[in-house]
Structure 1
Amino acid sequence: MKSRQEQRSEETKEQILKAAGTLFAKKGFDSVSIREIAKDAGCSHTTIYLYFKDKEALLHQLSMPSLERLYKQLLQISLMDTLTPEARLKGISREYIQFCLENRNMFDVFFNAKSTRVDELEPELEINKLRLEIFALMKQVLQDCLSMPDDELLLNFSRTFYYQLNGILSTYSYLHESIPVLMKRLEPTFDLSVEILILGFKEKISQKGNE
Structure 2
Amino acid sequence: MDSKHSHRSEETKKAILTTAGKLFANKGYDAVSMREIAKQAKCSHTTIYLYFKSKESLLHQLSMPSLTQLKLKMQEIVQSNTLPPEKKLKEMSNQFIHFCLNNKNLHTIFINAKSTRVDEQKPELEINQIRLEIFSIMKNTLGECLSLPNDDQLLAYSRIFFYNLYGILSTYSYQHEPTEVLLERLIPTFGLSVEILILGFKANLKLVEGEG
Q: Same fold (TM over 0.5)?
A: yes
Aligned mates of 2:188, 2:5 — CA distance in 1: 53
Give the AA of the match of 1:129: Q
Aligned mates of 1:208, 1:170 — CA distance in 2: 32
Deviates more, 1:174-183 or 1:196-205: 174-183
Which runs of no fewer than 5 residues in structure 2 stay unpaired? Answer: none
Aligned mates of 2:201, 2:26 — CA distance in 1: 37
Aligned mates of 2:174, 2:49 — CA distance in 1: 35
Which runs of no fewer than 5 residues in structure 1 stay unpaired? Answer: none
With the length of structure 2 as denominator, give the TM-score of the two structures.
0.96
Structure 1 consecutive aligned stretches of length 4 or more whose deviation exceeds 6 Å = none
Partner SS for 1:30: coil
Give the AA of the match of 1:98: H
- Number of the residue aligned with 1:175: 175
Distance 1:2 1:160, change over 3 A: farther
- Write out per-residue CA displacement over residues 91-128 of structure 1, whole angstroms, 9 at most, x where no aligned residue: 00011011101101010110100000000001000000
- Number of the residue aligned with 2:29: 29
Structural mapping, 1:1-211, within 5 Å: 3-211=3-211
Aligned mates of 2:95, 2:3 — CA distance in 1: 41
Aligned mates of 2:180, 2:193 — CA distance in 1: 19
Asked if the contact 2:66–2:99 (Cα under 8 Å) also holds between the matched residues in 1, the reply is no
Q: Percent of aligned positions with the same letter in both sequences?
A: 61
Aligned mates of 1:81, 1:114 — CA distance in 2: 36
Asked if the contact 2:17–2:58 (Cα under 8 Å) also holds between the matched residues in 1, the reply is yes
Give the AA of the match of 2:26: K
- Write out per-residue CA displacement over residues 59-110 of structure 1, whole angstroms, 9 at most, x where no aligned residue: 1011111100111011111221201100000000011011101101010110
- Supply the RMSD in Å over aligned alpha carbons: 1.2
Partner SS for 1:200: helix
Give the AA of the match of 1:72: L
Partner SS for 1:39: helix
Give the AA of the match of 1:90: K
Aligned mates of 1:181, 1:32 — CA distance in 2: 32
With the length of structure 1 as denominator, give the TM-score of the two structures.
0.97
Q: Number of paired residues?
A: 211
Aligned mates of 2:195, 2:2 — CA distance in 1: 54
